[in-house]
Amino acid sequence: MAEEEKAIGTSSAVDVETAMDMKEKHVDPTLEKHAHDADEAMKALEELHGESLELDESTNRRLLKIIDWHMMPIMCCIYGMNFLDKTTLSYASIMGIKTDLNLVKDDYQWLSSLFYFGYLAWEYPTNRLLQRLPLGKYSAACILTWGLVLCCFAAVNNYSGAIAIRFFLGVFEAAVTPGFALLTSQWYTKQEQGSRVNIWFSFNGVGQILGGFIAYGVAVGTAKHGSAIEPWKIIFLVTGLLTIALGLVFLWIVPDNQLNARWLKKEDRILAVARVQSNQQGIGNKHFKMYQVKEALMDPMTWAFFFYALIADIPNGGITNFFSQMITSFGYSSQESLILGVPGGAVEVIALLCNGYMGYKTGNRILCSLGGLLCALVGMILIVALPESMNVGRLIGYYMTQASPTAFVALLAMISSNVAGYTKKTTVAALYLIGYCTGNIIGPQTFRPKDAPRYIPAEITIIVCIGVSMCIMLFVYWWYVKENRRKEEIRSRPDYVRLQNQGFLDLTDRENMDFVYAI
């Protein structure tokens, strides 16, 4: 790749280049090979028989509105349930699960981590399946299955049963984040992707808000009127059944790609493909390409993403599983802690929506996302530094930590917009989420029972991790700026070769010198 430094470019119109055309134009044989293994969109565009399609601004806006109204609501709801379902254990931890399952010593910590062992074990296989199988249908199958698994938690009566449920919950939730990143890159332009990822990811906060109200309502209602089963089991049943219902809606609405979207007219399906041609990424390729895996493993950004996810999610793993217990350590009762967790979700929603808006307006997602990390850093310092008598200040510090996902989401959007080549994209997404899993496994282990109730060592660990994460984000910014300058210099050379339609040849971002990295 680098040694050839020979790029291929794109036109603004859809004009299909066949392998025969390439031979006549004496194009590099490597590129001819790509023409035989092009993106799925090429098959549809070949029906145009060389005709050009131009999208005017009004048509583009009309299509975007249709896509947003069909895709975003269900993606947002599912992602909110994704967060709520895996953190329901935190609410259950102060509603009697520890006593009923006889959780002693560090059993709860390991139960928290086991979700991520399942997630970690299945992350790469699920990314390969997301590439090989129909994207919408496979994602829906995983959603329905994890809802069913969560319902089964209500039947658990011992620690070993809880271990099995948490592990398999992680297995089936492993598809949602990489699947949604692929869907976003498939349906939206680079300029649109950052804000959309921030919107659906912000529903983590909505999930926390919903979970707080559900848990508080169940706790108060069962205390007042009693219940046939334990309150914590009701929480798992309610959230599991809601997930199953939303999974059925997802299956009906979300297609595998633009070409089989039942809510788009036939001519609009082709236009929906054409509008994302400028991404230089296509809409999907089912063939596994080993050279793209090797390129991903040699790309410094792959490892910057991986280590960011690993380090940044040590705090996430600890806080998301212990936030109810942290709030009780501030001097509040168990019931109060359930409702006091709600504003933390609101802070996350506001931080992510503001981050998405600012990133879109400034064209600089990476630097804007640092604001959330800085806010979280100040929040953790307040929790550690303030005396126990200033519990309101420490609670505010906890709320400030909920702004931290802005940078994680910015890098997730970077995988969507800055990694090209379908096999490479799924590989980078898998490694990013493997780092995420590893960090979330480590996180709960920093909250040792002997350090309760203040957990000072864990809180100091979180401060250090946030500081290192900020440094990694600055490195990512510097690298992409440098690479864009390098590519611009190559494109300005007199011998630079620009071909049409290479955006649908499933080229990687490093193969294609016309591919410009979003920052």
Contact 159, 102 (CB under 8 A): yes
How many domains would you assign to the chain? 1
451 within a domain of the structure (yes/no): yes
pLDDT at 19 over 70: no
Is 18 a domain residue? no
CA distances from residue 362 to 19, 365, 367, 519 in whole angstroms, order as listed:
40, 8, 10, 10
Confidence of residue 254 (pLDDT cuts 50, 70, 90): very high
If 0-12 CB within 10 Å is exposed, 13-18 middle and 19+ buried, where does residue 261 land? buried
Q: Are 509 and 301 in contact (CB under 8 A)?
A: no
Residue 6 pLDDT grade (very low, low, confident, very high; cuts 50, 70, 90) = very low
Task: Report the range out of 35-44, 136-145, 215-224, 455-464 with the highest average pLDDT.
Answer: 136-145
Q: What is the pLDDT of residues 68-108, one digit of tens each?
A: 999 999 999 999 999 898 888 888 887 888 888 888 888 88
The span from the CA of 397 to the CA of 116, in Å, is 26
Report which of residues 285 and 5 the model is more confident about.
285
134 half-sphere exposure, CB direction, 13 A CA radius: 13
- Is 108 a member of any domain? yes
What are the pLDDT digits (tens) for 325-356? 788 878 888 778 878 888 888 999 999 999 98
Q: Are 494 and 4 in contact (CB under 8 A)?
A: no
What domain range includes position 359?
57-64+73-504
DSSP per residue, 271-305: HHHHTTGGGSS-S---S--HHHHHHHHH-HHHHHH
Measuring CA to CA, which residue among 215, 204, 159 is closest to residue 320?
204
Which helix (H) or strand (E) element contains residue 167? Answer: helix 159-173
Check if the beta carbon of residue 127 is closer than 8 Å to that of residue 174: no
Q: CA torsion angle for 136, 139, 143, 148 (degrees, to 10)? A: 110
Assess if residue 405 is contained within a domain: yes
Which residue in the block uniquely carries the two structure tokens 């350090």?
451
Q: Is residue 266 part of a domain?
A: yes
Model pLDDT for residues 407-444, shown as the tens digit of each residue: 999 999 898 889 988 889 889 988 999 999 899 888 88
Instruction: Look at residue 391 in the predicted model and tell me its pLDDT.
Output: 86
User: Rounded CA gap, 519 and 502, in Å?
Assistant: 22
* pLDDT average, residue stretch 486-497: 87
pLDDT at position 281: 63
Name 83's Cβ contacts closer than 8 Å, sequence gap at least 6: 203, 204, 207, 208
pLDDT of residue 183: 93
Structure token digits, residue 498: 């620009």
Q: Which residue has the tokens 């690993």?
A: 310
Distance (Å, whole) CA 128 – CA 41:
20
Q: Tell me whether residue 36 is in a domain.
A: no
Could you tell me which of 515, 510, 450, 422 has the C-alpha nearest to residue 37?
422
- Kindly report whether the global pTM for this prediction surpasses the value 0.85: no
pLDDT at res. 52: 53
What mean pLDDT is predicted for residues 298-318? Answer: 93
Q: What does the alpha-carbon distance between residue 370 and residue 380 come to, in Å, rounded to a whole number?
A: 16
Instruction: Choose the most confident range, by mean pLDDT, from 214-218, 251-255, 511-515.
Output: 251-255
CATH number at residue 258: 1.20.1250.20
Q: Is residue 7 part of a domain?
A: no
Return the DSSP state at 496.
Answer: -
The answer to the question of residue 509 being in a domain is: no
pLDDT value of residue 198: 92
CA–CA distance from 159 to each of 91, 100, 515 (Å)?
A: 17, 9, 51
Residue showing tokens 């498939």? 186
Provide the pLDDT confidence category of residue 8 given band limits of 50, 70 and 90: very low
Cβ-Cβ contacts under 8 Å for 56 (sequence gap 6 or more): none
User: Stretch 270-286: mean pLDDT, rounded?
Assistant: 73
Nearest Cα to 149, choosing from 138, 161, 137? Answer: 161
